[in-house]
Amino acid sequence: MSVVTDGRQVLAQELSPTQQILRSAARQRFTLLVRFFVYVALCVHACFIAIFWTIGVDSLAWINVGSVMIYMIAIWLGKRGQLDLAFFLCAAEILVHAAIATLVLGWASGFHYYISVIALFSFFHPSRRLVFKLLGAVTMFVLYVSLFGVSRGIANPAISTALLTFFERVNLFTFFLINVLLGFVYTRAVEDVELQLRSVNRHLDYLARTDTLTGLLNRRSMHEMLERALLRVDARNPFAVILGDIDDFKRINDQYGHHCGDLVLKEMAQLLRISVRAQDQIARWGGEEFLIFLPDTDREDAMIVAERVRKALEGHVCLCGDLRLSVTMSFGVSDHRLGDGLERTVMVADRALYAGKAQGKNCVVAAVS
């Protein structure tokens, strides 16, 4: 049995979260701009109908009736998700209307301003390659210059100079207003995208620093934190580490399954989190091991913290279905010595931990000075 997968779904799966947001935002931005422009253009053409009928230019009035119908169709297409077709329909209407109005009333009427809107909108399209957008802009420029050459000598005797000036000012104002409003809508859309990207980046940063199962820091994040602590460590700024390991965790996994094992890991992580001090940091170091970083702490204070954590875990029962699991942990404590590297500090804690395992588990062992 074969499965047919939509190509767009496959592409979406291959894109990173940031790329997906940018692609989706570009489409949403274009949708917003087109819908906004369609409603503005609909209102403008409705006004032109009244103006042209009032001054007795019935041909242009009827053309604007057709324009209104075209924009109503564009609204219908947009609601059906056929935004590209609505866009090209609007672009064709703008070009034809601007050309006819300019040829009837002359270049001085200012209807030619709207042709540049097509070139502007083409750059907002999310799916067209840049070369096609540039080609579209060049085409609009050629048509614009051609229209100027054809219409510059046209003077409609039925239209007074004052009326031409009125049209020119109205069209210039409308053209300016459209550009300002488009810029406003575009800016707001870009700001929304920036907020989404910041949110995604924060989430990605969280995922990069966090262990997925337990929600604790991962080994990489803890290592970076320890490196920063190493830069400022001195006699007045000591730090210590506690390395903990769940006792008999392999038996829990083998006997009760990985589901119970994962549950134990999550509960131990939660208990560790609430048992340490506010300034302490915890990471899942690997498997069933946890590393606790204790800033501004010497070995004696670290032993006190480790013992408090051990007692809190010792009295806890993990529930896995009908099972009640009493789980303990063993801990090795090491304070960082000046001149030692991080690897040695952690290695010393690891040796102390396994000395505790050899002593019977569920205990705290400090590294030997």
Would you state the pLDDT for residue 46? 92
- Residues serving a catalytic function are 288
Would you state the pLDDT for residue 7? 44
DSSP state of 108: G
**Residue boundaries of the structural domains of the chain:** 7-205, 219-366
Q: For the CA atoms of 315, 319, 325, 326, what is the dihedral angle to 10 degrees?
A: 0
CATH number listed for the domain at residues 219-366? 3.30.70.270
Give kind and range of the element (H or E) at residue 288.
Answer: none
- Between CA 35 and CA 31 the distance in angstroms is 6
Amino acid identity of residue 147, one-letter, is L
- Between CA 326 and CA 314 the distance in angstroms is 7
Read off the tokens for 94. 């703008």
Would you state the pLDDT for residue 223? 93
pLDDT score of 6 more than 90: no
- pLDDT tens digit sequence for 147-199: 888 887 777 766 778 888 888 998 899 888 888 887 887 787 778 878 888 88
Of the candidates 214, 357, 224, 355, the one whose C-alpha atom is nearest the C-alpha of residue 293 is 224
Q: Which residue has the higher pLDDT, 319 or 31?
A: 319
Would you state the pLDDT for residue 293? 96
Would you state the pLDDT for residue 153? 72
Alpha-helix residue ranges (DSSP H) falling in 233-295: 249-256, 258-275
Give the model's confidence band at 235: pLDDT under 50 very low, under 70 low, under 90 confident, else very high: low
Would you state the pLDDT for residue 1? 37
pTM of the predicted protein model = 0.59
- pLDDT tens digit sequence for 71-122: 999 999 988 888 888 888 988 998 899 999 888 888 888 898 988 888 877 7
- Between CA 93 and CA 87 the distance in angstroms is 10
Of the candidates 90, 84, 83, the one whose C-alpha atom is nearest the C-alpha of residue 68 is 90
Give the model's confidence band at 18: pLDDT under 50 very low, under 70 low, under 90 confident, else very high: low
- Between CA 344 and CA 233 the distance in angstroms is 15
Give the model's confidence band at 14: pLDDT under 50 very low, under 70 low, under 90 confident, else very high: low
- pLDDT tens digit sequence for 34-65: 888 888 889 889 998 998 898 888 888 999 99
pLDDT score of 5 more than 80: no
Backbone angles phi, psi at 122, to 5 degrees: -60, -30
Are 310 and 302 in contact, with CB atoms under 8 Å apart?
A: no
- pLDDT tens digit sequence for 206-230: 888 999 999 999 999 999 999 988 8
